[in-house]
Amino acid sequence: MYRSLLPALLLASPAFAEVPKVVTDIAPVQGLVASVMGDLGTPEQLVPAGASPHSHALKPSEARALQNADLVFWIGEELSPDLARKIEAIAKEGTAVTLFDLPGTQHFEARNDVLFAEPGAHDEHDHGGHDDHDAQEEAGHDDHEHEHDDHDEHAHDTHDDHDDHGHDAEGHHHEGDDPHAWLSVDNASTWLTAIAETLSKQDPENAETYAANAEAAQTRIAAARASAEELLAPVQGSNFVVFHDAFQYYEKSFGLTVLGAISLSDATAPSPARLDALRDALDGAETACVFAEPQFDPRLIAAVTEGAGTPVAELDPLGTKIAPGADFYPALIEDLAQRIADCAAQ
């Protein structure tokens, strides 16, 4: 597995006398890096809007951008296996920072169950936001939450096959950690600091600008968190179903209850048995909304919701319709909250 070079980078002498050429994997990471770079430069994005990072294969122009990069900021191999191989093969002259592996990053284990919660059983953690983060972390260990210190030392539970209402009915299991960690606001804040430090080491002449930009971005993200908490307060206790299990970090950040997902966190196609189990769950539970994603086949949503009368809306963890740039990430956090609240109000 490709590993972050950040620790070595922080000890190294500056290698560049100008603003480095930077590429990122997905739009949320591009937004975070853009907020730190500000007017000094614009990071390129490898995975285009509307594509799934789980399966996207780089086009020649994207491969050239990767080859010419001085710095690569990306989530990691858990999200984009093909990109991991390309970084190893192509980005030999640059430095790759694997955000998922950075110390302090909050991780949750990938879920293999068809149903993540029993209908009516809701998250009781305090939704007070950033002030209660330490208490949430301590309580979160019961939910297999852990922070990353050395990713190779993690011990992951394996899951035995169970019936359709327990574990994934087709026997497919996604072991390891859920890679959609950018939907934790705390992770984004941690990464902003690392991004600013990395850029400053590469470009020390602009270190003060990177630090100031990161601080301003932290303030904007904190405001987005507060706005999302306000929008989502009325839907605490509601059940939701998502297309694929990409929202675990968001739901735990804001106390939401996701009943289940049509597909696992690696976006593996679901079996008919899994779809049947979710359809049965919708028949037996009051569900506020089922969420589709623009990157995946909407016909699977119809297969689950047919006859249930459950509202369907789009929820995009990659923010495909949000304008790229420095304000992308806080806009994503608020956009998700607004879409959840609007659908639940139907």
Q: Which of 76-80, 95-99, 304-308 has the lowest mean pLDDT?
A: 304-308
Task: Write down the pLDDT at residue 167.
Answer: 42
Mean pLDDT of 213-230: 98
Q: Which of 112-121, 146-155, 173-182, 190-199 has the lowest mean pLDDT?
A: 146-155
Strand 239-244 with 257-263, pairing: parallel
Tell whether the model's pLDDT for residue 173 goes beyond 90: no
Query: Domain 106-151+158-175+234-317+324-344, what architecture?
Result: 3-Layer(aba) Sandwich (3.40)
Would you give the DSSP letter of residue 268? Answer: P
Task: Provide the pLDDT confidence category of residue 64 given band limits of 50, 70 and 90.
Answer: very high
Tell whether the model's pLDDT for residue 13 goes beyond 70: no
Mean pLDDT of 24-45: 97
Tell whether the model's pLDDT for residue 246 goes beyond 80: yes
- Contacts of residues 264-270 at CB distance under 8 Å and 24 or more positions apart, as own/partner, are 264/110, 264/111, 264/112, 264/168, 264/172, 264/174, 265/110, 265/111, 265/174, 265/178, 265/179, 265/180, 266/54, 266/110, 266/174, 267/52, 267/54, 267/55, 267/296, 268/172, 268/174, 270/170, 270/300
Give me the percent of the chain exceeding a pLDDT of 90.
58
Task: Write down the pLDDT at residue 118.
Answer: 65
- Ordered by start, the domain boundaries in the chain are 6-104+183-225, 106-151+158-175+234-317+324-344
Task: Write down the pLDDT at residue 302.
Answer: 84
Task: Write down the pLDDT at residue 273.
Answer: 87
Length of the chain: 346
The structure tokens listed for 161 are 């096959």
Tell whether the model's pLDDT for residue 6 goes beyond 60: no
Mean pLDDT score of the chain: 82
Identity (one letter) of the amino acid at 283?
Answer: D
Are domains 6-104+183-225 and 106-151+158-175+234-317+324-344 of this chain identical in fold?
Answer: yes
Mean pLDDT of 87-91: 90
Task: Write down the pLDDT at residue 72.
Answer: 97
CA distances for 139 relative to 111, 135, 194, 197, 255, angstroms: 18, 6, 26, 30, 13
Task: Provide the pLDDT confidence category of residue 309 given band limits of 50, 70 and 90.
Answer: confident
Tell whether the model's pLDDT for residue 22 goes beyond 90: yes
Q: Between the ranges 59-68, 119-128, 159-168, 300-309, where is the mean pLDDT highest? A: 59-68
Task: Write down the pLDDT at residue 155.
Answer: 33
Q: Between the ranges 17-26, 86-95, 177-186, 284-293, where is the mean pLDDT highest? A: 177-186
Query: Domain 6-104+183-225, what architecture?
Result: 3-Layer(aba) Sandwich (3.40)
Q: Structure pTM?
A: 0.81
Tell whether the model's pLDDT for residue 229 goes beyond 90: yes
